[in-house]
Amino acid sequence: MPGQQREVEFRFLAEPTDVNFGGKVHGGMVMKWIDQAGYAAAVGWSGRYCVTVAVGGIQFVAPILIGDLVTVRATLVHTGTSSMHFAVDVVARDLKGSVERRATRCVIVFVALDAPDGKPAPVPPWQPVSPDDRRLAEYAQRLLALSTTIEAEDSGQTTGHGG
């Protein structure tokens, strides 16, 4: 039932096929995991097919190594008319220890689409209840505002070779 699943958590082991030449899981793989968890959360919340429209504030803060247990957690932190914003945390830990380390954090935005023509479709509203909910919602909105500002500045820059 739409509007019931606010959080999705994926868990798996980082495999040798996930790493770059430096022996760490590469950023593209982490971004794929983020998109997959976000998609599952968005469909779970909206009950509709969804598409990614933005990723903001992605930070790679600690490496993920082969054999680490990886947890990707996507939590709904804001809804618009047809959009859903999820705070995503990626944490990793060596199975031989118990200390988790945050590897990546970001906000990902999905839009729900209706089936016949692929137009944006309404999603169930969500309102923050707890102080943590409000903090996450504010964090997500700040990150997306920052990303929008950077994007606007980048689009105003000229490219090419001057002379």
pLDDT band of 163, cuts 50, 70, 90: very low
Angle at 19 between CA 14 and CA 23, to 5 degrees: 105
Percent of the chain with pLDDT over 70: 92
Other beta carbons less than 10 A from residue 62's beta carbon: 15
Kindly report which listed range (60-64, 79-83, 137-141, 149-153) carries the lowest average pLDDT score. 149-153
Residue ranges of domains in the chain: 7-156
Is residue 35 within 8 Å of residue 108, measured between CB atoms?
yes
pLDDT tens digits, one per residue of 56-67:
889 899 999 999
Instruction: Specify the DSSP class assigned to residue 162.
Output: -
Average pLDDT for 78-102: 94
Q: Taking 70 as the threshold, does the pLDDT of residue 2 lie above it? A: yes
CATH superfamily to which 7-156 belongs: Hotdog Thioesterase (3.10.129.10)
Is residue 41 within 8 Å of residue 108, measured between CB atoms?
no
**What phi, psi does 108 have (nearest 5°)?**
-125, 140
